[in-house]
Amino acid sequence: MSEPIEPSTSSSSSTKDPAFLIHPRREPFEHGLLSIPKLIFADPTQTLVPLKHKLIEQSPSHRVNAAAISESLQISIDLARLVLDTLASVLHLESDPLVQAKPDGVDEVGADVHDLVLFLYIQSYKKLLPRTHKDSAAVADVWPSTSAFDGYLSALSPLQLVRSNSRRFVPSQADEEAHQLSYLQKHLGNLVSLLAEPVEGEGEESLVLTMERLEHLGFLIQFGDKGSESGHLSQYAPFFANSDPDMPAVPVPAAQVHEWILNNIASALENISERISPKENGLPSSSDQDVPMADACTSSTKGSTCVRGSSFIEGISKSSLVRHASDLKGPSVKVLNCHDSVIYILAPLRYATVYGCSDATIVLGAVGKAVRIEHCERVHVITAANRICIANCRECMFFLGVNQRPLIVGDNHKLQVAPYNTFYSQLEEHLSEVGIDATINRWNEPLPLGAVDPHDSLSHPAGVSDAQAESATRVDPDQFTTFLIPNWCGGEPHGSTKVNPFPLPEAYVESQDRNQKNLGEVKQLLREAPLEDNRKRELSTALHVYFKDWLYASGNIRQLYCLQGE
């Protein structure tokens, strides 16, 4: 069953009630793809079926650790551990032992073999190509000028594509969902075969699927619009719907499961097509309209939308924006195409994506699963997270409190990393809520993978596919400063966090102590300066003028107006 089974042509019988529409789980496709060439197979089924049998034979519990993954896939133990950590961050069931494991217990728990083979199969997925925006003239007013690095990049580098298209470069959610569903539709036969087992004594032609094995497909598909809250996949399967919970359900033919899911995918694609058609005819949808930039800092609702579990903050320019948990409509956030702005997202999150931003400072509260920063330039990102992936960025700084090594992939230039450098009143509560351990911070252990993303659909110059991504350098302790979040946007209601909960390395503590000492000495010199009262007033006035000039020159004056306006 090495060739993908073509979709059934039978008509869909699914209702179009949103609660009964099938959706792809976006998390594996957005946060679960790794730039490791040995995980991408020309014929995934031919490779993964024997791999599954081998791993099951080695482990009666059907769970495998990093050593087994390393040996079977011929990758390093570090990359095998990365596979485990990545799989844990995108699994669909919070009750899975791998998800529940502490950072130092992941290898002991191991991954379920069936989840692992599905995870490895989708490493062959190719992302949707970007679309050119219809109003290319408007783009020039948003994107910054070409960097000096551009002379060294191929004409098809992802970052140049971002600039040459627009801030609308990101495919719409409907387009991405249709692309992911089409991929699942094409490969569903192979995916089902990886979970199915033959009836004893009847050979490979009599593949069946148990209810327990069907649940593993919940890693890739789900029903309803509530994300991980949608429930178990078997609850929606007509052949398991009336099963006695006290009795094992009778396995069903794999072909029946295959046809049922194909029919639901066909119905979902038809529904997406009907939603996209009005937009293609020039009729805007509520989630596709631009936010007036002048209004972006004067209302708590402008600048963001919500689509199936994710809140979007898009197109903010030359402004400041604050979002708390009560402002968000789901556990995930996407910050898209924001320019020359400061954005505070002070909330507990599961996933966060920052895409196509430039000349901005973005503070992400506590992200329990994964953060992805992609196609950004001259952006400062401050985040506490379980894990972070940085892709195709340049001249960016990352102030991190992370429990896993930061991943660096793709075409990056002049990246810098530093320890976490801020706090807000509810930070420790949010860290606890999403399961981040502030005593573990691996900010200074970046892990560079491939310089070319094998999951994009772009062509690349010959000879670069095996090149390693440029890693990040550490911010010099003397250049490290604490980032202060204004009191009026620090939290609602007020929490108990008074200091940065992530301990700083000694060199950074010493540098901060020196800076505080120097500041104290300057203040004392000014207080004790032998000046007459009128000269002291002149000095004070001059200092205020210089400070005001700095506020305007740095753009921080805009922050004061915007945030106080909220």
Instruction: Express each pLDDT in 13-42 by its tens digit.
Output: 444 666 678 999 999 999 999 988 899 898
Q: Confidence band (pLDDT; 50, 70, 90) for 150?
A: very low
Among 66-80, 471-485, 535-549, the range scoring the smallest mean pLDDT is 535-549
Higher-confidence residue: 514 or 229? 514
Q: Which residue has the tokens 């789900």?
A: 222
Domain of 371: which CATH number?
2.160.20.70
What value does the mean pLDDT take over residues 337-352? Answer: 94
Q: Which residues are registered as beta bridge partners of 418?
A: 399
- For residue 9, being part of any structural domain is answered with no
Higher-confidence residue: 483 or 7? 483
Both 452 and 372 in a single domain? yes
Both 511 and 442 in a single domain? no
Domain boundary pick from 461, 479, 497: 479
Both 537 and 433 in a single domain? no
Both 93 and 40 in a single domain? yes
Neighbours of 459 (CB within 10 A): 9
Helices (H), strands (E): how many in the chain?
16, 20
Decide if 205 contacts 255 (C-beta within 8 A): no
Q: Confidence band (pLDDT; 50, 70, 90) for 146?
A: very low
User: Over pLDDT 90: what percentage of the chain?
Assistant: 49
What value does the mean pLDDT take over residues 312-339? Answer: 91
Both 389 and 469 in a single domain? yes
Both 316 and 236 in a single domain? no
- For residue 304, being part of any structural domain is answered with no
Question: Which domain range does residue 551 map to?
Answer: 506-562
Query: From residue 400, how far is each of 170, 235, 405 by CA, in Å?
Result: 26, 40, 10
Confidence check: pLDDT of 249 > 80: no
Q: Where are the extended beta strands (E) located within 3-110?
A: 22-24, 63-64
- For residue 123, being part of any structural domain is answered with yes
Both 522 and 460 in a single domain? no
Q: What is the CA radius of gyration of the chain?
A: 26
DSSP class of 376: -
The pairing of strands 221-223 and 22-24 is antiparallel
What value does the mean pLDDT take over residues 375-404? Answer: 96
Both 86 and 123 in a single domain? yes
Neighbours of 295 (CB within 10 A): 12
Considering its fold, how many domains does the chain have in total? 3
- For residue 318, being part of any structural domain is answered with yes
Q: Whole-model pTM?
A: 0.82
pLDDT for the residue 230: 54
Confidence check: pLDDT of 400 > 50: yes
Both 403 and 445 in a single domain? yes
Both 475 and 512 in a single domain? no
Instruction: For residues 2 and 20, give the distance between their C-alpha atoms in angstroms, rounded to a whole number.
Output: 31
Query: From residue 361, how far is each of 317, 322, 340 by CA, in Å?
Result: 12, 12, 8
- For residue 387, being part of any structural domain is answered with yes
Both 226 and 353 in a single domain? no
- For residue 283, being part of any structural domain is answered with no
- For residue 162, being part of any structural domain is answered with no
Domain boundary pick from 441, 463, 479: 479
- For residue 200, being part of any structural domain is answered with yes
Both 473 and 514 in a single domain? no
